[in-house]
Each structure stands twice: as C-alpha cells, then as structure tokens.
Structure 1
Amino acid sequence: MDKLSYEKETLYVHKGYSSKNHQGSLSVPLYQTSTFAFETAEQGARRFAGEEEGGIYSRLGNPTVHVLEERMAAMEHGEGALAFGSGMAAVSTILVHLTKTGDHILCTRGIYGCTFGLLNILEEKYNITHDLADLTTEEKIEAAIKPNTVCIYIETPINPTMEIVDIAQITRIAIKHGIQVVVDNTFSSPYLQNPLELGADFVLHSATKYINGHGDVIAGILVGKNREDINKIRSTVQKDYGGIISPFDAWLLIRGLKTLHVRMDRHSNNAADIFTFLKSNPKVENIYYPFDEGNPQYEVAKKQMKTGGGLISFTVTGGINNAQKLMNELRLIKIAVSLGDAETLIQHPSTMTHSVVPEKERVEMGITDGLLRLSVGLENSLDLIEDLQQALSKI
C-alpha cells in the first residue's frame, strides 16, 4: 500500500503496513520490547553504523512506532515523521532543533499555555527570545521579524480563541527571510488541514487529541517536509533528550487513525449544529468558530480548512461567575481539559489550560475570564444542544 495516489481515507487505514511481513497479522503487531537481539556481533556493529536496517533499541526505533510514523508522514504529505511521548515533547524537540543561544522565535499571539511556559524557559535559561505577535497581515508579519528570527511558530486555529492564521502568507514571507515555519495542527488534524502543502517546514500534533480520539493516550507527532531533517532530529534531539513514545501507545494511535476521517466529519457536523444554536442564544455574548461567516478570517479558514472543525469558544453574560455556573449546571457535557475525545468536553482556559499565562498576556491573547472552550464530541447534537440550553437557562 505504498501508492501515494490513494485517497487520504484509505491511507489512514493502510499506509505503512503489510501483513505479508508480519505472518499475516491483519492488525499491526505490538512490538512491546525495549531492545532487539542481533544474530552476530558484526550485524550489531553494522546497525549502529547505519549500514544495515533493523532493530537496535526502542528509544532509537521500534517497528510498531515506525508504522505510525510512516502513516502520519503520508497523512501530512511529509517525507518523514517522529512520534513522541507527549505533544509537548514534540514542541520542545523541534524548538531545540531549530534554535541556539541568541536566536529569536516569532509566535502567533495566542498559544497553548505549556508552549508559553516552554518559551519562557528557553528565554530564561538559554537566551532564546520570543515574541507573541499579531500575524494576520503581511505588514504585521514583516514588522515582527527580527534579524535573529530563525523560526515562526504558528497555531491555527489558535488555542483557545480560534483565530485563523494564513499559513500560505506566513510561509511566503518566511521563505523570503530564510526562516523555518512550524505549525501546530492539533485543532484541525491532517484530515481538515495540511500545513506542509501550504509551505510550512514542520507540522506537529498533540496526538493525545484527534489522532487518538479516545482519551486514553498521551502522545505527540512531528512531521517534516524534508526526510533528512527528520532523520537528523531522530538521531540527535529525540535520541538524546529521550521524549519517545511507547510501542503500546503507538499501537493505540494506529488504531485511532483508522477512524479519523469518520470521527472528524461527525465532530465537525455536531460543532456546526451547536454553533447555530449558540449564535442565537441571548446569553452568549461572543462566539469564536472558524466557519462563522461573520468571522473576518472566514475566507482564510475556508481556503485552508476542509470544515470548521470540532471546537468552539464562546463567552457568556456575567463573566467568570456565570461561565463557571454554566459548567457546573451541565449534565451530559464533561468539565475536562483536552479535546478530540468521543465525549464532549468544556473547560475554562483562564483558570485551566492557560492559567500559567499571566493575566496581562492572557488578555492580549483574547482569553478573557468569561471565555469557555467546547470540544464537541460524537454524541447526538440534539442531546448536546439540550444540555447547553438547560444550563444557559440557569445563569
């Protein structure tokens, strides 16, 4: 199944695996081993020298993990991929790979709380500076680039404000300046958006979310458009920092990928239904959803995303008190961080996922105390709307 002409839904199920090489097993085997035996001392030497393919040690590579990596590379239209023990392991690995002391990272003005924390660590300990900037126009992007900028790090849609960044515009400017572009594609998944196709150099995922889809794995994925870059990262930062994924977690992600397209269609359809309901509710002050026709970035979202996705953020009247009261009144929807699960989840970014971000920066990102983020699950949308309606009626 190595033909790149196959449609993406077929690749999600088959890419990177042949049962002929694994005693006919239809399911990808789980190679739950830490190390691999060599037939001879000379074979071990050849493998360590890179002269022969084959297992050495699971921190350096594992057959189950390799299937996941090859499948993810195909899904994101890249030449190579790496799997990690968490999304943050993927984020930290690519930033360490791309930077050195004295360099500058330019980021979208909204960013995941732990990525924000990592950037502060890099600045405080290693003098790798960063700026969070409005990157919505060519003029603003050019103005934010510094002589020592080596990386532009993008979230789109941005977590949790759902702001859209024009990936093609960013990459066009970055190429002119010789800057690498990294896109966190967690909110969209490869089914809805492919940043490498739009010019990015690397795309990453918290695979905990839509890639897995079942709320039972912590994992990360990094895909590169250049195989040599990925191989270099594999043999240096990933190997020596050690943020690898376990074979069992990789096996669970492979299982999750088989239904990604089916799940994403349902997530997106449910979210569209809930958006329509929330938009007409008088207790909802603001709503943030990529495919809102009133969104000034709607045309950009349509250009680079297949659908609006499964996430909606909104504010309610009454600020933080009513936001928390609404969450507490919900009966079906669960109060939990994360996203992309079968269950619908709601969380309060300013006191949960982004609580590490100081208030001044949170406000600049657009994260107010009344903002709620809803990850729409796979339930019947009528049940979800009924739950939201009864909770909203009590605030």
Structure 2
Amino acid sequence: MKPETLAIHSGNLYESSTKDVTPPINLSTTFFRDEDGGYSGGHMYSRVSNPNRSALEQVLTDLEHGADACAFSSGNTAGMSLFQALKPGSHIIAPDDMYWGFKKQLQSIFADTLTIDFIDLTDLSSIPDYIRENTVLIWVETPSNPLLKITDLKAIAAIAKEHKLVLACDSTFASPCLQNPIALGADIVMHSSTKYIGGHSDVLGGVLITAEKTPLWEKIRNIQQIGGAVPSPFDCFLLLRSIKTLPYRMRGHCENGMALALYLEQHPKIEGVFYPGLPTHPQYEIARQQMSGFGGMLSVLVAGGADEARKVVNTVKLFAQATSLGGVESLIEHRASVEGPDTKTPQNLIRVSVGLEHIDDLIADFNQALA
C-alpha cells in the first residue's frame, strides 16, 4: 500500500465489540489472565504493551518499511534508549550539526560511559579516519538541525556495513513521508513524534524503528518495557489520529517551505538560506535523490547580526516565537539563544518551521518584519 493508505489503515489493528471504525482509547493498565496463566488478549500490563501503543508502533513500522518499532514518551527518550543499549566503553560517531538535546545527552549523561566524535558527516572521505576498534554506532541526522545539512545515507550505510557498525538516523525533519532511511541502508530510524508525526503541537512522543530484530533491538525493547518511559494510551490515540493526515500535511509543508525559501533567498536583508530544496544548497542533489520532498524546515541568516535576528522574531505576527517544529502553525525562533552559551549556531540564525497557513500571508508577515 502507498503511504496515504498505510497512514489511514495500518493503525486499525483490532476490532472492538462495538465495531468502531476508529480504535477507541484503551485506558486499562492491566489485563485479564487466562486460566492457564496466559494472556490471550495479547496484553498483560500497559507499561509493557497497550492496544493503542501497539497500533501506533505498527503503523510507524509500516510507514518506515521496518520490522518493528518502539514508541516512547518523548523523542529525547527514544534516542537515549538507543544510547543506553550500547555497552559501556563504546565509541559513537555523530554529526557536528545535530539536535542540541541529543548532543547534550551524549556530552553529559553518557560522558562517563561512551566516547563520541562529532564530525562533518557530509565529508564522507573523513569518516573511516574516526572508526576505532570500539566504534559501534554512526548516528546520522538528515536534514540536520539547525543548518539543514544533508547526509548521503546510502554512502554512509556502505561504510557502516563494511565496518560492521550500526547506522541510526534521526529523520525527524523529514518525517516518514519524505524519507525512508531503512530503504537506504540504515539499521534504525528515530523520530520525535512530537513534531511532524503529531503535527498539532499537542502531544509529546518519540519512536525508534528497526530494520531487523537484532540483539541490540531486543535490548532497546527491554529498556522501553522495563524502564517504562512510554506514551500514554491517549498520547498514542492522538498520534494515530494525526498520522492519518500526515502525507497530505507534508505536501503543504513542502509547498510552503519551498515558496518561503525562494522568497527569503532573494531578500536583501537575508544573508543566507538553509533549505535542501534550493539548487544553491551544497547537498541539493543528494537531497533530491533520497527525499521525495524537502520539508517545511528552513533556517536563515539575518543581515546585521543577533540584534537584527531578534528583531525579526519579535516583529512577526503569524509566526509564533516558540521552540519545536512540525505543527500546522508556523513557528520561529532565535536558535542560538535556545541552545545556550556553548552553541556553535550562528548568532544571526533564525530557524523557521513553516506551517500550513496561506503562503501569501506568511510571506507578507516576513516582509513587514524585515522592513
């Protein structure tokens, strides 16, 4: 089935006695045992599994063409569960431009158990130089946050396979509708489902999807079930509801993102636009090959430095000055001030999550703010 059909039908895993078309919210924390002690209903305790979570994991598995999925209570928890599953003393290769929350995790929470090299993964020739005897994982983020770098997934997958390394990809900026890393050779895909998958800025969540049920994956599943950082049944219900419109929402985000990027690229008060759909983007050809659309995320450099960038985010009317991304409403933020004093993000960079408002209104809002 095509993504539009999977998004609507894959999550409908079970049929209730009332013949619901949409699976109801199942709030039960515990489930009946059979006379022989088994669980013929398929569930024992909601920390371990729940009908709504099973449905969510199934549809995300199908959309990413994987073998299994683990849903978590946040994107940070999803990524952290993979890092927790690695043996102490393991070495990780990660991108120099990546979501600051994961970078902070690796530099603080895992500082005593893992070693990490943060490198430019767009420079493929340099990657083998960083592979050690204890290297176990290459963590990729494409498109990256906030510079929208594009990593060649097929090429890095070949490197990972040659050296018997796990390749994991944070594909949050793309969503399952624009990019399928497993089809390009990745072993594990990560999404913050708070973002495009949820799409309405009203639910927190994260997910890992695996290409195969390996021993590492069983460790991750054990961390999910025993650690218990899982989404509630209502969170899963909301995400399932949102996924049904995900393919169509992404078309609107892509269309608006491209139009706004083209407008800002020509504006005299903008020094640079980071958007993989622009032919001027250094990895445009790679993005065109491995993505079916370029998404609704872009970053721009405002002429005049940090003060001028802050003026823009304080002057726009339709763009909500708030963190996060992927909602139907447009968001804008001065990214360096979010990431803190040790950030390497340019001080004049603003990150934009282009929503589903009419593009003429969004351009007009930017126009008055830049004026």
Partner of 2:18: 23
Per-residue deviation, 1:234: 5.6
Partner of 2:51: 63
Specify the SS of the correspondent of 1:192: coil
1:358 aligns with one of 334, 342, 359: 342
- Name the structure where helix makes up a greater proportion of residues: 1
Partner of 1:110: 97
Partner of 1:213: 199
Partner of 1:13: 8
Partner of 2:111: 124
Aligned AA (2:30): T
CA gap 1:38/1:77 in 2 versus in 1, 3 angstroms: same
Question: In 2, distance between residues paired with 1:374 and 1:69?
Answer: 29
Question: In 2, distance between residues paired with 1:330 and 1:279?
Answer: 18
Specify the SS of the correspondent of 2:186: coil
CA gap 1:333/1:139 in 2 versus in 1, 3 angstroms: same
Specify the SS of the correspondent of 1:125: coil
> What root-mean-square deviation, in Å, do the aligned CA atoms of Structure 1 and Structure 2 show?
1.5
Does residue 1:100 correspond to 2:87, yes or no?
yes
Aligned AA (1:265): R
Question: In 1, distance between residues paired with 2:145 and 2:17?
Answer: 41
Specify the SS of the correspondent of 1:191: coil
Partner of 1:3: none
Per-residue deviation, 1:203: 0.2
Specify the SS of the correspondent of 1:223: strand
The size of the alignment, in residue pairs, is 371
Q: Is the 8 A contact 1:223 1:230 kept in 2?
A: no
Partner of 2:297: 311
Question: In 2, distance between residues paired with 1:288 and 1:176?
Answer: 32
Specify the SS of the correspondent of 1:182: strand
Question: In 2, distance between residues paired with 1:36 and 1:266?
Answer: 42
Aligned AA (1:23): T
Per-residue deviation, 1:10: 0.1
Q: After the TM superposition, which residues 181-192 of structure 1 pair with which residues of structure 2 at under 5 Å, given as runs? A: 181-192=167-178
Per-residue deviation, 1:231: 6.2
Q: Is the 8 A contact 1:122 1:129 kept in 2?
A: no
Unaligned runs of 5+ in 2: none
Specify the SS of the correspondent of 1:56: coil
Partner of 2:165: 179
Unaligned runs of 5+ in 1: 1-5
Does residue 1:82 correspond to 2:70, yes or no?
yes
Aligned AA (1:188): A
Does residue 1:285 correspond to 2:271, yes or no?
yes
Q: Deviations over 1:41-84 (max 9, x none)?
A: x32xx35xxxx662110000001110010000000000100111
Q: After the TM superposition, which residues 236-275 of structure 1 pair with which residues of structure 2 at under 5 Å, given as runs? A: 236-275=222-261
Name the % identity: 38
Specify the SS of the correspondent of 1:114: helix
Q: Is the 8 A contact 1:212 1:257 kept in 2?
A: yes
CA gap 1:277/1:227 in 2 versus in 1, 3 angstroms: same
Specify the SS of the correspondent of 1:153: strand
For normalisation by structure 1, the TM-score amounts to: 0.91
Per-residue deviation, 1:233: 3.6
For normalisation by structure 2, the TM-score amounts to: 0.97
CA gap 1:242/1:259 in 2 versus in 1, 3 angstroms: same
Partner of 1:381: 359
Question: In 2, distance between residues paired with 1:319 and 1:268?
Answer: 28
Compare 173-182 and 117-126 and name the one that shifted more.
117-126
Specify the SS of the correspondent of 2:53: helix
Partner of 1:226: 212
Q: Is the 8 A contact 2:334 2:350 kept in 1?
A: yes
Per-residue deviation, 1:21: 4.9
